Amino acid sequence: MTTTKYYIGRVEKAYYPATEALGSKTTFNKAFYNISSTVSVYVLDRAIKVTLPDYAVTETAYSLERSSHALVISVKDALGNVQTTHTSGSGKTTATGALYRLTGATGTYTGADSKTASYTLAMSYDNMHRITSKSQHLTQGNLQFDGTLNVGYDLTYTYGQEDVKKFQLNNVSDVNYRTEATSDESQKTRNSHAYEYDANGNLVYVNTGCTKTDGTADEKAQERKLKWDEENRLLASDDDIFVPYHCVKHIYIARASFPRTATLPPPSQP
């Protein structure tokens, strides 16, 4: 049972009964200890400080970002963690986590001739501050063409398990779509990107695999091979892009005078 005291229509303090007789939960108990949750004085109808019964304090600060004129709201919890959101007049909102890492963003646009657009972005991290997922989804109406366009992707990141490789990207799962209709599972493209490194931690191989529309897997839709010298400087990069009956090769070679990039023509069809 809770009784509250209001200040200009807002909760200023909440009281909680200390004891309740068995079987009388529907009867108000006037016996209280000094247990209360307090909200500080409001500024422009906004709470700036909340004190819980265990004396944990949450503080909220408001400011205006000069460059973008966005309203900045920073919330500091009892452990000192700070989460900040930025909201602009255009409807765009971004959020940062306790370590000021971007955790999410939203945006909307409304123009003439019924032109509209909106997007959402969400990112997550693990306890070692590594990105574990990133999702972005965009909807446009009557912008590039008359009608609706839906575009988006969901990325999932995994890392090496050995102690010296825990910050080396191991694999990225990439699920994306681009459609005029509402997307469903059948319209999504599924790719995977695998990474390999040398003993010095230099990236030496990237393999991109994809799942075809018939459900079969193409494990080597694209490959990249890189070569480094003893001072960890890039010497060459070799890209192979495989399409039916073709292999398009791009080669980058680092020279003392100037770098050179060459594209070799695909072989003739069998």
Contact 83, 97 (CB under 8 A): yes
Amino acid code (one letter) for 224: R
Contact 209, 191 (CB under 8 A): yes
pLDDT in tens, 62-106: 888 776 677 888 888 877 777 778 777 666 677 777 667 888 999
pLDDT in tens, 215-246: 777 777 889 999 999 999 999 999 887 765 45
**What do you get for the CA distance between the two ends of the chain, in Å?**
81
- Whole-angstrom Cα distance, residue 168 to residue 159? 6
268, pLDDT greater than 80? no
Question: How many of the other CB atoms lie within 10 Å of CB of 70?
Answer: 19
Long-range pairs for 47-56 at CB < 8 Å and ≥24 separation?
47/10, 52/78, 53/16
pLDDT at 10: 58
pLDDT in tens, 195-210: 999 999 999 999 998 8
Contact 10, 39 (CB under 8 A): yes
pTM of the shown model: 0.63
Please name which of 139, 149, 132, 73 lies closest in space to residue 106, comparing C-alpha atoms.
139
